[in-house]
Structure 1
């Protein structure tokens, strides 16, 4: 895990904040909450816990290559924003951590641009690594070998239609969020997805354009 400084904006000693909810999902719109996610260790923690797993801070520290004290700081910051919660201890010793919902989404409303860009970049990087790992394993995966898909397109939509598309896609996934490692159909496996839509800014200059002579 890269040695990236923790976001300085989030002080775990502050009062906790309740995130917005849509069904069993958390919707993060507060710029400060988005800044709290802008760290690779924290996105790794969320990937682990939002698979339905329950982990102690020591286990998460080992997963991310951080010290237990550093991981405790990150977990308290995520707890502050209602993204993770304490779970019941199994053996009465260290209390583990769990996801606060079945899933979470980032919303562009009132979002801090830099923080949103950082979080999206972290998740695009993780998805790229997941796809690369899958491509290496795919020839041996039998019935799963043709199930991965990456799709990109440019349909014309109104603002209301785009909101409807976003809601419809999440509605398709919604019934499956109740499943976890102990509750899923035989033959099922975890699947990574990252759904994103972005209205194109037609007059924007191409990224990396050279304005020099």
Structure 2
């Protein structure tokens, strides 16, 4: 977790609802790997109109996912944002959580799928001619596993994602400003779900 070894708080229902949009997932991912960012720079980097960016930032700020950093602003009109907590673990088990929590978890999951899909579409329509065009991939499969095997699969996938997500970043998770000029951003997702309603048994 970098320099801050405190255990991060789980995302609240309001935080989950605020994250349930592919643009806001993009903003969170961008800010997670930077000390801070200006609203104008976020809009330019993510290809979002300035007024739309302001709307999404307000929603994230209201949920406590990001905070204004006026001490970093150049002037009164300058808005700088940062994440007070970069890691946002989600409780998949909604037991003991407020009403609507499980629904909010589902909304984030659907938004994450849309975030991946929007990246795929952007590559198809905007990536032609780039050296890394077409290097992305989507692989789907079904598996017959015990609970322990499924958990092992999840742990291995998360370990691979964590290993590659930490590359070309410092110990605090910030993107390194200097380095390989060929670096590009990639969207990575890991999904392992039980096939509810289908329980295979040996014949």
Using structure 2 for the length normalisation, give the TM-score.
0.65
Post-superposition offset of 1:191? 0.7
Moved over 6 A (4+): none
Equivalent residue number for residue 116 of structure 2: 127
* Shift, 1:86, TM fit: 4.9
Give the 3 Å change call, closer, same or farther, for CA 152–164 of structure 1 in structure 2.
same
Structure holding more strand per residue: 1
Aligned to 2:129: 140
Q: 1:45 to 1:145 in 2, by over 3 A?
A: closer
Structure 1: segments with no counterpart, 5+ residues: 1-22, 205-213
- For the 8 Å contact 1:45–1:60, the answer to whether it is kept is yes
Counterpart for residue 152 of structure 1: 140
Q: Which residue of 1 aligns with 2:80?
A: 96
**CA positional deviation for 1:95:** 5.7
Aligned-residue RMSD, C-alpha:
3.8
TM-score, normalized by length of structure 1?
0.62
Stretches of structure 2 that go unaligned for 5 or more consecutive residues are: 170-174
CA distance in 2, matches of 1:89, 1:137: 33
Q: 1:132 to 1:103 in 2, by over 3 A?
A: farther
- With CA pairs under 8 Å and 6+ residues apart, which has the higher RCO, 1 or 2? 2
Instruction: Give, in angstroms, the shift of residue 139 of structure 1.
Output: 4.7
Per-residue CA deviations over 1:148-169 (Å, capped at 9, x if unaligned) read 1101111122223222222222
In structure 2, the CA distance between the partners of 1:126 and 1:174, relative to structure 1 (3 Å rule), is closer
